[in-house]
Amino acid sequence: MDNSFTELREHRTEMVLDTRPIEEPDTVAGPVLWTEPRYLAVSSRHRLAARSRVSLEDLARVTLLRMPANAPAAIAADRIPAVTPLGRPIEHGPRVASFQEALAMVGAGEGTFTVGGQVTRFYNRPDVTYIPFSDAPPIAWGFVWRASHETARIRAFNTHAVALRSASRPAR
């Protein structure tokens, strides 16, 4: 939820590591490198904060903060859906400009936000509780680049990243 797509679109970077889904017609999404579980960030004072798990249907009981206007539409729709799987409407709150602003607003009780599992390790806050979803798909990560500027170097970098990731996975 940073400015990675803005930087890609403005030609300030050649490729970015970002979440899925990617449905931008002018981009190439490389293979998924890893996934992480999905969580709901709520104020530590929120009625759901004491729960050990939430479901996607619980989103009908909260207000979801909206992603920045420059977020890719498919990612925004994935993280901030309009309805639950059973079709119940989900209330949308204010639009945030950054991830830090989202966490501050969650902590202040102004809404909730869906996040990936890594957030629970790197963004510990006493005013925010992270609750895992019991039924939500994981959030996937991989490289993205502009289709019109694809080069052998970009393809090689992505291929190497995939190989490194595959080599680091434990044997099953």
Give the model confidence (pLDDT) of 4-45 as tens digits. 777 887 788 899 999 999 888 888 999 999 999 999 999 999
As separate numbers, helices (DSSP H) first and strands (DSSP E) second, the chain gives: 5, 9
| pTM exceeds 0.75, yes or no | yes
Mean pLDDT of 120-130: 96
Q: What is the DSSP letter of 26?
A: T
Pair (119, 42) in one structural domain: yes
Clarify whether residues 26 and 43 are in a common domain. Answer: no
85 and 58 part of one domain? yes
Q: Tell me, yes or no, whether 71 and 15 share the same domain.
A: no
Q: Are residues 94 and 20 in the same domain?
A: no
Residue span of the structural domain in which 28 resides: 4-33+141-168
Instruction: Dig out the tokens for 4 from the structure.
Output: 């990675």
> What integer pLDDT is reported at residue 55 of this predicted model?
98
How many whole angstroms separate alpha carbon 106 and alpha carbon 128?
A: 7
pLDDT at 25: 86
Contact 142, 20 (CB under 8 A): yes
Say whether both 105 and 58 belong to one domain. yes
